[in-house]
Structure 1
Amino acid sequence: MLYDVVIAGAGPVGLFLAAELAQGGAQVLVLEQAANPDSPFKRLPFGLRGLNAPSLAALDRRGLLQAVEARQVRKPGKGEPPPPGTAHWLAQPRALGGHFAGIPFALDRVDSDRWPYRLPTPAGMQMAVDMQALETVLADRAQALGVQILRGVAVDAIDPAPDQVTVVAAGQSFAGRWLVGCDGGRSVVRKRGGFTFAGTDAEFTGHSLLVSLQDPSVLTPGRQYTGQGMCNFNPPGTVALADFDGGAGHRHVLDREGAQVLLQRVSGRDAVIDELHLATTWTDAARQATTYRNGRVLLAGDAAHVHSPLGGQGLNLGLGDAMNLGWKLAAVLRGEAGDALLDSYHAERHPVGAKVLEWSRAQVALMRPGTGARALAAVMADLADTPDGATYLAERVWGLWQQLDLGGTHPLVGRSVPDFVSAQGERMGEHLREGRGVFQVFTAASGMADALQAWQPRIRCIQQPVVDALGLAAVLVRPDGVVAWASDGAGDTDGLAAAATRWFGPAAGIRS
């Protein structure tokens, strides 16, 4: 059978991308090397992840937010202990918005007036989830849309041809018109597909340990910097260590004795481990594919970019890749668009990935052992406790900084569309549920609502006043929720047809 798209990897990025493609009419096969989706590393404590504003908006725009929200890791109430293994910051008395290299910023310091195009939305700015719960929601969504998921099938080789790609996995051959590697930082698709993975080597090895300690009070809860690196302790027995060994300890299997030696050396405390339950390693190596597409092979998620997990940006970056790529590849498969649309995937997402890698490297610089890094961290902590500093950090951590360069003149073009709401309570997020573009007119301007009728059903055209239009007369939104065109004037349609043609393909009968 020739599938429209074969996806390597059934993690959150691969599953979300599969659902996007299937919603767009594609026949999708997902190959996953793990035989069982269940893993202790996907559950608390190691599976804890933070979703930022773009990810939550994406889930909302596909009707998945409530299902994920029902499984979120909630901050304990006053006087309540945090669930075992959850992050120490969830139990802080002061509401925190996130951190930079362990330096927190408080929500009461953030000035939300700095973001004039934000409107209240049920998606919010951040949410804590565990990987197991998120993958369950996304797998259910993908399978409900007809996606076929084969587990225990590891990709061994690929054979790209001009009109299709053959994938060899677990002794079987699968053919797809397109192949997308969502198979992680050690991606076989990337290695076999001829991609260059450029970047910087590791400075430290990160160790995540789940242990039973003889005396937990020996370690100080929270993040502590030491002469060897960093120790982050979440009682009663979750420990994250950053050992500045140049990455030498990565993928070394620790036993109890080895873990105890490591813990004592990095923490500088006489901590005794009675039992080692789980251990895994990671590094701060930061690399990015120089191109996200090579012929009919594309990359998304960790297959396209890797960096340290500091600040939890990796999952969000990958979900953004999937949201950007899915509708575009589906449109190409339907014959509504050509390579120019597909090439915009790399053009838009590669700069976003590069900036996240810079963010990760900057945090590592503040974590290095030594008096210089500690002095710089103290300065950063002072800045984080100011409205300017906290707002800047919030903008970066929550993903609000992202604006694609689409060449538009309106300041909203390239940004996530505000969640406009009508007097009847209909939200923009709900209008995007079908995975189509939306052209919404907020005024009663003559002919404005009919300007893009020839693009239906690719674009849903709505004339509907909203509670707060933010001074806009109309807005054209891509299926991923990115504003393609916006106007403040009721009669101003300059560039509208060009924007519609660029993102949704040509339509007859439209005057430019």
Structure 2
Amino acid sequence: MEQVVVVGGGPVGLWLAAELGLGGVPVTVLEARTERDPHSKALTIHPRTLEVLAFRGVVDRFLAEGLRIPNGHFGGLDDRMDFRVLDTDFPFTLALPQVRTEELLEEHARTRGARILRGHQVTGLRQDADSVALRVTGPDGPYEVEAAYVVGCDGTRSAVREAAGIAFPGTPDTTWGWLADVVLDSPPPSLLSVSGPNGGLMVVPLPGGAHRFVGGSDHTERPGELTLEEVRATVTAITGTDFGMRDPHWLSRFGNATRQAERYRRGRVLVAGDAAHMHFPAGGVGLNVGVQDATNLGWKLAATALGTAPHGLLDSYHDERHPVGADLLLSTRAQTALMNAATPEVLALRTLLSGLIATVPEFSRTLAERLSGLAVAYDRGAHPLVGTRAPDLRVGDTTLFTLLRTGKHVPLDFTDEPAKHDGWEDVRGAVVRPDGHVAWASGDTAPDPATH
């Protein structure tokens, strides 16, 4: 019997497999596609995800290939949030096509011992108190595999979620956006965000020389296939030029259906990423929240599978991450309203909010912290730092992120050398969880390493 089977070989499934491997649990990943999708739905890696990659020692590969963007948008507003003011070593978003992100994550997962099988589609499951049996159709026909735990990372149409009977309530598509990856003969000099009576759009440079256009529409019913001619006409109507667009790499539409799994765990079956939350891709946060789901789940599931977890640890995955998913849906719904309606009232709201971003630094910073994932905090304890993310603190002759590479809890003793970071000056001791959040902190007592 397998200890854990992860269904879905996208970014979330691959990262979870690596996290479980780090925790000492063998993992098999089942991916329905025989080949990786060449089109990159996700493009943006946010600061918190870069921190996660950093405290596992793999961020440099991503930084070497991605394009650093020192600001971000909320709902396509003209004024952008300045990420350079964020309390992180990665005060920017990183533009990197999802296809390359998956390649790098697969290499990492394999180094952690993951077995990745392509062309293996899960068609159903049954579970009891001791195991889960998956029905799978592979290259050689149907078969069954038994596992102690199964995690569905298989997207918004998750076969695992459906077969496990996990409800996925929400709202259907009511409006549609579009994207076009094209070559430009006369590109704009930098990132471009434009809105007006003819609609709004953003233009983002891609690694390799192409550009991505993203825009909304006023369609109330699902439109037909997107064409380059339609993109050209739309862009020209909004900006007055088509930037010399040609040679489309990918043209696609997407809707604003918004749903969230009622539970992230049912018995021995769990869900993460798009299998747990579906939303309009505003702000490029979906991949990031999914990877952070996996970071929260990985160490908890590993300890549970190995029999070392305290009672209730695995249930805390739902308790901690479901509210994060709900906040994600709130944010993307708000941004959808700003991006996909060009009524005088919405244009006035856009002008108001954009002006606040430009003139009220704390407003801009708060939005940026929420969008980037840096603001995520779990149940607070007696000390105000408990539940918050820990920065890359200096610890003797090393750093916290270096210590977190083991995937274990890290006790920190600041008795002799106080922490030199805002909010940490009076901390004498702390314990940081494997996912980089503070488990315990004290201004009076150093941690006992024997208990962690």
* TM score, norm. by length of structure 1: 0.78
Whole-Å separation in 2 of the counterparts to 1:216 and 1:466: 50
Of 53, 68, 72 in structure 2, the residue corresponding to residue 98 of structure 1 is 72
C-alpha RMSD over aligned residues: 3.0
Of 245, 268, 275 in structure 1, the residue corresponding to residue 219 of structure 2 is 245
Matches within 5 A, 1:69-468: 69-74=63-68, 96-103=70-77, 104-107=79-82, 118=87, 121=89, 123-124=90-91, 126-170=93-137, 171-211=142-182, 222-227=192-197, 229-233=199-203, 238-246=212-220, 248-249=222-223, 252-255=224-227, 263=234, 267=238, 276-337=248-309, 340-367=312-339, 368-386=341-359, 387-405=361-379, 407-424=380-397, 426-443=398-415
Mark the runs of 5 or more structure 1 residues left unpaired by the alignment: 75-89, 91-95, 113-117, 445-463, 505-512
Whole-Å separation in 1 of the counterparts to 2:108 and 2:191: 38
Residue 487 of structure 1 aligns with which residue? 442
Do the aligned partners of 1:203 and 1:244 also contact (CA within 8 Å) in 2? no
Residue 453 of structure 1 aligns with which residue? none
Do the aligned partners of 1:52 and 1:316 also contact (CA within 8 Å) in 2? no
CA distance 1:194–1:36, change in 2 (3 Å)? same
Deviation at 1:478, TM superposition (A): 1.2
Deviation at 1:366, TM superposition (A): 1.7
Deviation at 1:442, TM superposition (A): 1.3
Residue 39 of structure 2 aligns with which residue? 41
Which SS does the other structure have where 2:296 is aligned?
helix
For 1:173, give the aligned amino acid: E
Do the aligned partners of 1:423 and 1:465 also contact (CA within 8 Å) in 2? no
Q: Deviations over 1:105-150 (max 9, x none)?
A: 3539x765xxxxx5x64x5553332212221221111111211000
Do the aligned partners of 1:247 and 1:283 also contact (CA within 8 Å) in 2? no
Whole-Å separation in 2 of the counterparts to 1:489 and 1:184: 46
Whole-Å separation in 2 of the counterparts to 1:265 and 1:420: 49
Do the aligned partners of 1:105 and 1:393 also contact (CA within 8 Å) in 2? no
For 2:192, give the aligned amino acid: G
CA distance 1:22–1:487, change in 2 (3 Å)? same
Whole-Å separation in 1 of the counterparts to 2:237 and 2:289: 30
Q: Deviations over 1:346-396 (max 9, x none)?
A: 000000111111111111222222000000110001100121222222222
Mark the runs of 5 or more structure 2 residues left unpaired by the alignment: none
CA distance 1:466–1:169, change in 2 (3 Å)? same
Q: Deviations over 1:413-456 (max 9, x none)?
A: 001112221352x0011111111101111115xxxxxxxxxxxx
Do the aligned partners of 2:194 and 2:239 also contact (CA within 8 Å) in 1? no
For 1:26, give the aligned amino acid: V
Residue 451 of structure 1 aligns with which residue? none
Q: Deviations over 1:302-334 (max 9, x none)?
A: 100011111111111101100000000000111
Of 46, 51, 54 in structure 2, the residue corresponding to residue 57 of structure 1 is 51
Whole-Å separation in 2 of the counterparts to 1:131 and 1:212: 18
Whole-Å separation in 2 of the counterparts to 1:188 and 1:152: 15
CA distance 1:264–1:52, change in 2 (3 Å)? closer
CA distance 1:391–1:270, change in 2 (3 Å)? closer
For 2:56, give the aligned amino acid: R
For 2:80, give the aligned amino acid: F
Deviation at 1:482, TM superposition (A): 0.9
* TM score, norm. by length of structure 2: 0.87
Residue 23 of structure 1 aligns with which residue? 22
CA distance 1:238–1:296, change in 2 (3 Å)? same
Which entry has the higher C-alpha Rg, 1 or 2? 1
Do the aligned partners of 1:438 and 1:477 also contact (CA within 8 Å) in 2? yes
Of 425, 428, 431 in structure 2, the residue corresponding to residue 470 of structure 1 is 425
Which SS does the other structure have where 2:146 is aligned?
strand
Whole-Å separation in 1 of the counterparts to 2:353 and 2:101: 33
Deviation at 1:301, TM superposition (A): 0.3
Deviation at 1:210, TM superposition (A): 3.3
Query: How many aligned positions are there?
Result: 437
For 1:288, give the aligned amino acid: Q
